[in-house]
Structure 1
Amino acid sequence: MSPHTLAFVESPVQLLNVLEWAHARGHTTDRAPDPGGTAPGARPESGITLVVLSPTDPMSRGQLRRMAQLARDEGHEVRWEEARGGAGAPLRTIGGLAGPLRRVERVVMGDPFSRYVQLLLTITKARDLVVVDDGTATMEFVGQLARGERLVRWHRKGGRRGPRDLVLGPVSAVARRRLTPRGERRVEVFSSMPIDETPRGVTVTANRFAWTRDRFGPPSVTTSADLVGTSLVETGVVDADRYVDAVRALARTHGATRYFAHRRESAEKLHRLAVETGLQIVRPELPLELIARRGPIGRTILSFPSTVVHTLPLALAGTEVRVTVCDIDPSWLTAHASPRAQGFLSGVTGTARDVHRLARTAQAG
């Protein structure tokens, strides 16, 4: 029997947000839906298969394994695909998914910028397409769709298109057309991010992290501060030396004791942070929203512009934890940073709700 819904995820956060979407829609099998979280007119449905297009980095894989077990505990089927396990892996993965994709009624995806997902979209005839949050990239995706632009990640925008981009350009164009509502095809964006430009015909549903609050916590709260790491150095946006200086100043000023590493931060950078700042480096086993909700967590959470300045206030609603966001100074940007980087990061900070903002002068310490 073919599943009613196929959900494609490539990161732990995407899988978490599929669980949030399923909870909001009433897709549960062994627990009663949260009365406050079910969307109006939604009915409990079954037949969700989560397809994990596994990445290669160990930290992401470990978090995904643990998130996959949580999904199974909720009654969902999980299909693990070694989608990047060698030269022949993409063909095997796509070939194995082609049949279900042609028959499925709904496709849920965590990353519409993913070349893998875009290829899969060229196969499916599903009438219902759902995009769940992949962090701040969701804001950019919705804006590009509304403006009819090609789909490209914000930190790459403005750069030269490489040979791979040119080869896969037609695939991306087809994916963008598929993600544009037309006729009986419906498109939904399920997001905790602020969305100002809503494409015509696209339904936007708020992700309030009801599943996370229902399943975990409330957390115990410590008197210290915790600092949330970012992969802006690894993506070439922020200079490594400036980043370390900023983390050191924040830790000293606010009495932070722990640094929650982003799953894509390099081991070399994290070692340097531990040596030069004295912070305890924590590599979370689950997305930070779940770690924070389970606790213990600091009374103050310090973060640079990232998804968590939008999601943590929702996950921690009703607690005494304060989320504080620290702007990225333009002088921290590398020469290779996208021309849009500063504006995008400022927008991430400026649109965050229920957070405290630090002036850049306070960060310098």
Structure 2
Amino acid sequence: MNGRLAFVESPVQLLNVLEWAHAQVTGAPGGDDPGRTGAAPTAQGPSGAAPRGRAAVPGGRPPAGGAADRPPESGPGPAPAAHDLTVVVLSPTDPMSRGQLRRMAQLAREDGFSVRWQEAREGRGSLARTLRDLAPLLRAAERIIVGDPFSRYVQLLLTLFGPRHLTVVDDGTATMEFAAQLTRGERLVRWHRRGSLRPRDLLLAPVSSLARRRLAPTRGRTVEIFTSLPVEAPPGTTVTPHAFAWTRARFGPPRLTRGADLVGTSLVETGVVDADRYIQAVADLARTHGATRYFAHRRERPAKLHRIAVETGLEIVRPDLPLELIARRGPIGRTVVSFPSTVVHTLPLALAGTGVKVAVCKVAPEWLLENVSERAQGFLSGVAGTAAHEVDRLTARAAPAMERFEFG
């Protein structure tokens, strides 16, 4: 057994698997020099073609046939090679996620990886069919790489086939919570979930309990966390730094625009933040920073995005790749403003040496819905505050207090 098998369910997870594999090849876990600018400028991402106040097509692309409608171009980057890594995409049902995953799968194949698209949620019987199809790969795998340890699908696979070596790559800020829960010996639960167990949680509790043990290091199993986030290594695990070396080698440097860009979040969709408060905050930030574009999170609902476009005048861009790649390809604003999310940790790495500034807007307590737990509030504060050594305080006229990251 010497194969490596990765399970991904989102575009960001697949991106980070490619970053992990690149680190294995280069022998530099933290990546190359963060100031490296990589190849010459490449095909540009969102073009800003839609008029203010109107929603843009996915990726901000021109009509079919335009340059941006073609697959993403790339710099020389690492030469494609045969890898003993197979990437299994446990395909989600969300159309935006599926579209981004298709694009990421294309990039992975261009780099010589084997990518298997598994319709894991395609109606009744899909679970049994997926387990049957993947059983031979799981039995032969020496190392399993997963992007979401909270995924019920991943947990079920781990209960049936315990790997000798396990790597967890970033799936947003959930990596921080996973490491903390592993350290404290707690059951695995997403940070925005309420404290009480739901009926479905009770039904799957035995699976989650066994999966948590399979995700922990033992005498016969190693566990690695490959992350760009500030994570303390749980006892017995290895934390490997992730500096977006593959992204910087493959794309950019980007062309910078004069204005600012806003990065959206799914905090409304996950039941954490009030929609009206969120949209008002977006309007305040756009006015304060002169923003013209709003990069939507793939889970944001069309109705909310329509309101933002109408009420703020912002152009809505639905990226067709993870934001780190979109920003690295460019064009991107000289200032990027985000609410607490992974990008306040990842964009400074992906855009190192470009001169782009990233600002993070803290979530004010009055924006939160009544049923949001104190644990969720604390987690959001921690996401914004964990890079304090790089923060400059700003005073915004109509927006909440800002923290700014500058790199370059």
TM-score (ref. length: structure 1): 0.92
Instruction: Name the amino acid aligned to 2:351.
Output: L
1:173 corresponds to 2:167: no
| 1:155 and 2:192 aligned | yes
- Change in 2 beyond 3 A, CA 1:91/1:171: same
Give the CA deviation at 1:145.
Answer: 0.2
Q: Does 1:115 align with 2:152?
A: yes
- Provide the C-alpha distance between the structure 1 equivalents of 2:324 and 2:131, rounded to a whole number of angstroms: 31
1:274 partner amino acid:
A
How far did 1:125 drift? 3.5
Instruction: Give the paired residue count.
Output: 352
Instruction: Please list, as runs of the form range in 1=range in 2, the aligned pairs for 1:180-259 lying within 5 A after superposition.
Output: 180-196=216-232, 198-259=233-294
C-alpha displacement of 1:180: 1.2
- Closer/same/farther in 2, CA of residues 301 and 61 from structure 1, 3 Å limit: same
Q: Is the 8 A contact 1:3 1:48 kept in 2?
A: no
8 Å contact kept, 1:224–1:300 = yes
* Runs (4+) off by over 3 Å: 32-36, 353-362
Output aligned runs, 1:1-365, within 5 Å.
4-26=3-25, 37=31, 46-158=83-195, 160-196=196-232, 198-352=233-387, 354=390, 356-358=392-394, 363-364=399-400
Cα distance in 1 for partners of 2:29, 2:241 equals 15
What SS does structure 2 have at the residue aligned with 1:320? coil
Q: Are the structure 2 counterparts of residues 36 and 106 from structure 1 closer, same or farther at C-alpha, using a change threshold of 3 Å?
A: closer
Structure 1 residues 52 and 331 mapped into 2: Cα distance closer, same or farther (>3 Å)?
Answer: same
| 2-structure distance, mates of 1:36, 1:335 | 41
Separation in 1 of the partners of 2:30 and 2:223?
A: 23
Identity %: 69
Instruction: Report the AA paired with residue 24 of structure 2.
Output: R
In the alignment, the residues of structure 2 paired with residue 314 and residue 362 of structure 1 have an alpha-carbon distance, to the nearest angstrom, of: 29
Distance 2:105 2:298 in 1: 17
Specify which structure has the bigger relative contact order, considering alpha-carbon pairs within 8 angstroms and separated by 6 or more residues: 2
In structure 2, do the counterparts of structure 1 residues 303 and 35 end up closer, same or farther at CA, with 3 Å as the change threshold? closer
Unaligned runs of 5+ in 1: 27-31, 39-43
- DSSP-derived class of the 1:340 partner: helix
Decide whether the 8 Å contact of 2:6 with 2:17 is kept in 1: yes
Q: 1:349 to 1:76 in 2, by over 3 A?
A: same
**1:103/1:139 CA distance change after superposition, 3 Å:** same
- Give the distance between the partners of 1:361 and 1:348, measured in 2 at CA: 23
Distance, in Å, in 1 between the alignment partners of 2:130 and 2:265 is 31
Amino acid at match of 2:222: R
Give how far 1:166 is off.
Answer: 0.7
Give secondary structure in 2 for the equivalent of 1:150.
coil
Q: Which runs of 5+ in 2 are unaligned?
A: 33-80, 402-408
Alignment partners' CA distance in 1, 2:225 and 2:8: 15
Contact 1:329/1:360, CA 8 A, preserved across alignment: no
CA distance, structure 1, for counterparts of residue 400 and residue 363 of structure 2: 11
Aligned-partner SS, 2:399: helix
Change (3 A) 1:356 1:4: farther
Shift of 1:358: 4.8
Deviation of the 1:45 alpha carbon:
8.1
Separation of aligned partners in 1, 2:30 and 2:226: 16
Which residue pairs with 1:41 in the alignment?
Answer: none
- Taking structure 2 as the reference length, the TM-score comes to 0.83
TM-aligned CA distance change 1:150 to 1:361, over 3 Å: farther
Deviation at 1:124, TM superposition (A): 1.8
Residues 303/181 of structure 1: CA separation in 2 closer, same or farther (3 Å cut): same
* Change beyond 3 A, Cα 1:360–1:129: farther
Whole-Å Cα distance in 2 between the matches of residues 131 and 357 of structure 1?
A: 33
Contact 1:233–1:240, Cα closer than 8 Å, also in 2:
yes
Please tell me the residue identity of whatever aligns with 2:172.
Answer: G
**Alpha carbons of structure 1 residues 142 and 202: separation in structure 2 relative to 1, 3 Å:** same
Residue 162 of structure 2 contacts residue 214 of structure 2 at CA under 8 Å; is this kept in 1?
A: no
- State the shift of 1:336 in Å: 2.3
